[in-house]
């Protein structure tokens, strides 16, 4: 379905460089004003790349001396023809209108299509014509107005009408309400709205009556390709006809009935392939990125994969890729590592259903195990066609809402959920006994550890435990009474730190209250497990605090003092890296102090008001003054305090001509010079102006009770160096660590040493000492006691703060062969503990816009491959090590191949025989 190019447009061809400049300007404008509800258009990447080649041809044809080569080259790209989006369409799709057109299920942004804002599409379509038009809508996917995504695929829902047994397939936006779904169902089946009730019918089971008509389908946890039961009442009382019908009877209706399928997508743009946009690096901003890339790369368009599948030798299975459904590379990487774990590959390709624990309340009624097993079998099938993980993703979203949607997630977090969820679905223990481990009472570690492990196995027995679980020895020591507590706990994986300094760098700005110095930032080093008194001592030394002075630490939020940190034993770990702290340098007082907080406000012209009235907007860092309680203050006193503190921030001070004249009296005189004269308008919190008089002003006698606003006019604000007030640094500004040279890599063994090092518990994990009968910050020491067949090691590359997540790009030198953990085992067993690497989950780029791949060694070929979503390619072993390595998978070496899995197979058969008796 193509649209003809309008004559008026076709007759006005612009030079290619003007086309590119115009499109870039439109894209930049659209980016700046992006909002929820904006319309975007899909355009085939094939046509888009031909247009990119065409519009940059002049730049590529510029010679070194700046002149153009006028000779026509046979390689010069020609002006593209009409836009042809038919390669994005399903072959069996109806072409009644643009909203009724079905897209291929496996389209990937950047490879198959590009998303363009409406203004860009209209301009290109006006120039070139063609079609069909494939429009989609931007929706809000989070709390912030900037959390936008484009719904490329609507929710596809199966409507099941009862009691007639008719069926229909519709598409609808995940952001549409239940009311809109109800209306659409009535239109499809020609029903009377008052007689229709909708049920969440996931798995052909009534989960919930969808009676909250204002709730969105996203909030109602409705998933792609699930069933919705449409129930019709027939009596006057409004009771549900068939409401007591069993699920079996309901299913019989639909099995007997003929299927009527209709595409009723009139409004929806939901998201199986939810293409997230960050308006910087994705979607239409690729207009800028790609043109710059192509210009610098002489037109090389190979940055976007153009094929799927693999090109590898032989006929080995296990070389099948996974399609990216939209930011699902994190899931694909984790899944590929698990399905290529030999013990799991063998287990799930045999009959494991006899081990499913259908009634485990901690599990997913077997659905996660069945879905994972089905996906694994597809990936190990002889076919090389990439597999769509959509059914597995649907189950995953159902049981783990944190992974719903199509935003970027953490592959390690998914691995942790999968291993735990598969264990619960496959737990051979149907009725868990209650067991309590006994105190050691002088018994040997070996005896106590075996008892803990036996109790664990009595409640947890699955293929996951057989293969992946090991055991820690955990030793806690009370710092007060010396009580020692030893426990032996199971673990599924090791999370190793990549930086383990015992100190912490903190940056804080010090403000003076006597006008002796401008606000000054200090960066100090404090113990990572230190207390507030350590920070005060470090700042005391840094700013040369006098004996008659003291420091007051305050956390600043929203241009006010949010919290004063007065407790000297407060743990510094409670201060986050992205906090903003100000320290006020105050005189020591004999009596208790009251405080006056001066909050800055500047003029904010209200454009929405016809009178253009001026409002006052808070900004900057507040100033703090203190007075002795019960001291009478006047308006002149308060004005004087503010002037005194602001003096060092004034521009063009006359007092600066003599550095030696630094007395308070000299500084005060500078207020009356022409160059720095300004008037302060002080307003109290009741909006009353504080006059410069000797009238007494009552100051409340409680900490920070008095807030006085300094209203700055635009002219007076120019006389102040606002850098001191506006830019309060974070406690710690993250910066990537310096790259290590090849001569000094961080060893995996060093990470393991840091992980097992004794250290005090963090305040959130205080230990209750049974001897002291109180919570204590005990010291904790971990040791490895029992190692699993498959050892999963997570490298902690991400550090967290309140609002951000930073990544460490540290290169870790991990062994591919002969990882020797013999000396790390506290349980001195006779055999050596040697491991071999077989899989790596890699993370490239930042957390927000990163990409995951998997490096996997096929044991039957003894060769490494890169699994990058749908693309699988062979790589050299020396390329496996990189700074992107995130999760490492090791197998124990030394035991005959398959011994552990042989034990598992025997267990499966044993349980299967038991179930048949």
CA distance 733 to 806: 10
- Tell me: the pLDDT tens digits for 385-424? 788 898 899 888 888 888 877 777 889 999 999 999 999 9
Q: Is 125 a catalytic residue?
A: no
For the CA atoms of 465, 469, 473, 476, what is the dihedral angle to 10 degrees? -90
pLDDT at 599 (0 to 100):
93
Token pair of 270 as six digits: 């939901």
Summarize pLDDT for 622-677 with one digit per residue, the tens: 999 988 877 888 989 999 999 999 888 887 654 443 333 333 333 333 334 344 56
Which secondary structure element, helix H or strand E, spans residue 810, and what is its range? none
**Rounded CA separation 165/251 (Å):** 9
Q: CA 283 to CA 134: how far, in whole Å?
A: 15
pLDDT of residue 265: 34
pLDDT tens by residue, 808-821:
888 899 999 999 99
Task: Give the model's pLDDT for residue 91.
Answer: 64
Greater model confidence, 546 or 104: 546
Residue 148 has pLDDT above 80, yes or no: no
Burial code (b: 16+ CB inside 10 Å, e: under 16) for 48-70 equals bbbbbbbbbbebbeeeeeeeeee
Q: How confident is the model at residue 204 (pLDDT cuts 50, 70, 90)?
A: confident
Lowest mean pLDDT of 391-400, 541-550, 599-608, name the range: 599-608
> Is the pTM above the cut of 0.85?
no
At 916, the pLDDT band (50, 70, 90 cuts) reads very low
Residue 629, classed as helix, strand or coil, is: coil
- Measured CA angle at 840 (ends 834, 843), to 5 deg: 145
How far apart CA 812 and CA 823 sit, in angstroms, is 20
Is 155:394 a contact under the CB 8 Å cutoff?
no
At 42 the pLDDT is 92
CA-CA distance, 313 to 704, in Å (whole number)? Answer: 74
pLDDT for 117 beyond 80: yes
| Cβ atoms of 770 and 544 closer than 8 Å | no
Q: If you average pLDDT over residues 561-572, what whole number do you get? A: 88
Per-residue model confidence (pLDDT) at position 898? 40
Confidence tier at 314 by pLDDT (50, 70, 90) = very low
* Residue, of 870 and 830, whose pLDDT is higher: 870
- pLDDT at position 375 over 80: yes
Average pLDDT for 99-118: 77
Q: Which of 329, 478, 543, 769 is catalytic?
A: 329
**Active-site residue among 692, 806, 851, 912?**
851
pLDDT at 1: 43
Nearest partner of 534 among 562, 561, 499, 502, judged by Cα: 502
The pLDDT of residue 333 is above 60: yes
Between CA 780 and CA 490 the distance in angstroms is: 16
Distance CA 850, CA 630 (A): 59
| pLDDT of amino acid 674 | 44
Give every CB contact of residue 798 below 8 A, 6+ residues apart in sequence. Answer: 410, 805, 806, 807, 808, 847
Q: What is the pLDDT of residue 202?
A: 74
Q: Does the active-site annotation cover 329?
A: yes
């Amino acid at each position: 379905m193509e649209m003809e190019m309008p004559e008026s447009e076709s007759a006005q061809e612009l030079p290619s460089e003007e086309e590119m400049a115009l499109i870039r300007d439109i894209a930049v404008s659209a980016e700046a004003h992006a909002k929820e509800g904006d319309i975007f258009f899909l355009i085939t990447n094939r046509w888009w790349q031909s247009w990119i080649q065409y519009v940059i041809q002049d730049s590529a044809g510029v010679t070194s001396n700046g002149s153009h080569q006028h000779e026509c080259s046979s390689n010069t790209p020609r002006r593209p023809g009409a836009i042809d989006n038919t390669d994005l369409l399903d072959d069996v799709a109806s072409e009644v209108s643009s909203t009724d057109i079905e897209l291929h299920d496996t389209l990937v942004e950047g490879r198959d299509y590009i998303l363009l804002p409406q203004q860009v599409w209209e301009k290109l379509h006006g120039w070139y014509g063609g079609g069909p038009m494939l429009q989609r809508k931007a929706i809000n996917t989070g709390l912030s107005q900037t959390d936008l995504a484009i719904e490329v695929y609507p929710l596809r829902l199966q409507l099941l009408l009862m009691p007639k047994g008719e069926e229909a397939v519709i598409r609808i936006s995940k952001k549409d309400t239940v009311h809109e779904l109800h209306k659409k169902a009535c239109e499809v089946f020609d029903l009377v709205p008052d007689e229709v009730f909708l049920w969440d019918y996931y798995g052909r089971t009534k989960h919930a009556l969808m009676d909250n008509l204002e709730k969105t389908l996203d909030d109602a946890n409705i998933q792609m390709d699930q069933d919705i039961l449409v129930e019709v009442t027939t009596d006057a009382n409004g009771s549900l006809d068939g409401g007591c019908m069993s699920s079996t009877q309901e299913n019989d209706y639909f099995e007997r009935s003929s299927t009527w399928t209709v595409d009723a997508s009139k409004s929806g743009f939901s998201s199986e392939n939810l293409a997230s946009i960050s308006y910087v690096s994705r979607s239409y901003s690729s207009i800028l990125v790609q043109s710059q890339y192509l210009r610098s790369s002489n037109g090389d368009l190979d940055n976007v994969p153009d094929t799927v599948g693999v090109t590898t030798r032989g006929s080995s299975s296990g070389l099948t890729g996974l399609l990216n459904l939209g930011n699902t590379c994190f899931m694909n990487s984790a899944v590929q590592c698990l399905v290529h774990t030999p013990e799991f590959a063998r287990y799930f390709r045999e009959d494991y259903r006899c081990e499913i624990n259908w009634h485990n309340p901690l599990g997913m009624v077997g659905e996660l195990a069945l879905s994972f097993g089905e996906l694994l079998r597809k990936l190990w099938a002889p076919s090389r066609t990439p597999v769509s993980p959509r059914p597995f993703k649907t189950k995953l979203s159902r049981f783990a809402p944190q992974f719903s949607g199509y935003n970027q997630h953490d592959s390690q977090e998914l691995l942790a959920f999968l291993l735990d969820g598969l264990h619960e679905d496959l737990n051979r223990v149907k009725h868990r006994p209650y067991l309590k481990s006994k105190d050691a009472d002088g018994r040997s570690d070996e005896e106590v550890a075996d008892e803990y492990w036996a109790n664990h196995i009595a409640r947890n027995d699955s293929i996951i435990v057989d293969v992946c679980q090991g055991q820690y020895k955990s030793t806690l020591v009370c710092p007060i009474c010396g009580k020692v507590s030893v426990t032996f706990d199971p673990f599924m994986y090791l999370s190793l730190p990549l930086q383990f300094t015992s100190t912490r760098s903190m940056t804080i700005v010090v403000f003076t209250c006597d006008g002796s110095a401008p606000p000054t930032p200090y960066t100090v080093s404090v113990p990572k497990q230190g207390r507030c008194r350590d920070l005060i001592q470090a700042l005391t030394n840094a700013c040369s605090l006098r004996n008659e002075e003291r420091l007051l630490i305050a956390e600043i939020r929203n241009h006010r003092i949010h919290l004063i940190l007065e407790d000297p034993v407060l743990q510094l770990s409670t201060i986050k890296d992205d906090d903003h702290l100000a320290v006020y340098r105050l005189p020591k007082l004999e009596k208790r102090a009251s405080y006056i907080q001066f909050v800055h406000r500047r003029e904010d012209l209200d454009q929405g008001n016809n009178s253009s009235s001026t409002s006052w907007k808070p900004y900057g860092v507040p100033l703090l003054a203190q007075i002795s309680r019960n001291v009478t203050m006047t308006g002149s006193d308060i004005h004087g305090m503010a002037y005194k503190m602001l003096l060092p921030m004034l521009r063009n001070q006359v007092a600066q001509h003599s550095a030696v004249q630094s007395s308070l009296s000299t500084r005060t005189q500078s207020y009356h010079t022409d160059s720095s004269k300004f008037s302060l308008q002080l307003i109290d919190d009741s909006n009353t102006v504080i006059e410069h008089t000797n009238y007494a002003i009552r100051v409340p006698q409680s900490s920070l009770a008095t807030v006085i606003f300094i209203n700055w006019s635009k002219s007076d604000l120019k006389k102040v160096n606002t850098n001191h007030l506006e830019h309060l640094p974070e406690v710690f500004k993250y910066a990537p660590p310096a790259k290590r040279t090849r001569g000094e890599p961080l060893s995996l063994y060093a990470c393991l040493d840091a992980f097992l090092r004794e250290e005090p518990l963090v305040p959130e994990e205080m230990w209750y000492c049974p001897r002291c009968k109180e919570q204590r910050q005990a010291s904790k020491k971990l040791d490895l006691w029992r190692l699993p067949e498959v050892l999963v090691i997570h490298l902690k590359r991400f550090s967290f703060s309140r609002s951000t997540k930073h990544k460490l790009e540290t290169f870790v030198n991990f062994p591919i062969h002969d990882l020797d953990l013999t000396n790390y085992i506290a349980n001195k067993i006779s055999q050596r503990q040697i491991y071999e690497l077989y899989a790596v989950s890699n993370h490239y780029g930042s957390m927000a816009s990163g990409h995951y791949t998997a490096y996997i060694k096929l044991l039957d070929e003894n060769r490494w491959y890169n699994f990058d979503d749908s693309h699988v390619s062979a790589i050299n072993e020396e390329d496996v090590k990189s700074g992107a390595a995130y999760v490492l998978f090791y197998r124990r070496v030394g035991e005959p191949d398959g011994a552990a899995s042989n034990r598992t197979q025997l267990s499966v058969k044993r349980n299967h025989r038991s179930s048949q008796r």
